[in-house]
Amino acid sequence: MSMHPLLQRRYRLDEAPVPFVLNGTAETGRRGDTVLTAILSVSGRLRQSEFTGENRAGFCLIGACQDCYVMLADGSRVRACSTALQPGMAFITDLGAMAEAVHE
């Protein structure tokens, strides 16, 4: 299934690039991005629900609902809407890859 990015970057196009990894693929965000902004600028979903498999993209976007938690490659989780993107962050947002990471 092809998924176009959910967000289209229109402002701050000249901010410094910030490299990150999404499900094993090298991607680039911009300085000042939240994790949510960076992921949705390159993907049609933020993550898949662990319970239903449905695509999620966050809900409140103000740090209140916890719908935007994403897993990092080390197994820790961050709230994507209120976490600043840092160079080198690696995210796992596909259900299959999440299950493998948890059982390693």
List contacts with ligand FES (CB under 6 A): 58-61, 63-68, 79, 81
Question: Judged by CB, which is closer to ligand FES: 85, or 100?
Answer: 85
* CA 34 to each of CA 27, 84, 86, 91: distance values in angstroms, whole numbers, following the listed order: 14, 4, 9, 13
CB of 79 to ligand FES, least distance (A): 5
Question: Judged by CB, which is closer to ligand FES: 18, or 80?
Answer: 80
Question: Judged by CB, which is closer to ligand FES: 27, or 67?
Answer: 67
Residue at token pair 């196009």: 13
CB of 4 to ligand FES, least distance (A): 21
80 neighbors 53 (Cβ within 8 angstroms)? no
Q: Give me the numbers of helices (H) and strands (E) for the chain, helices first please.
A: 2, 7
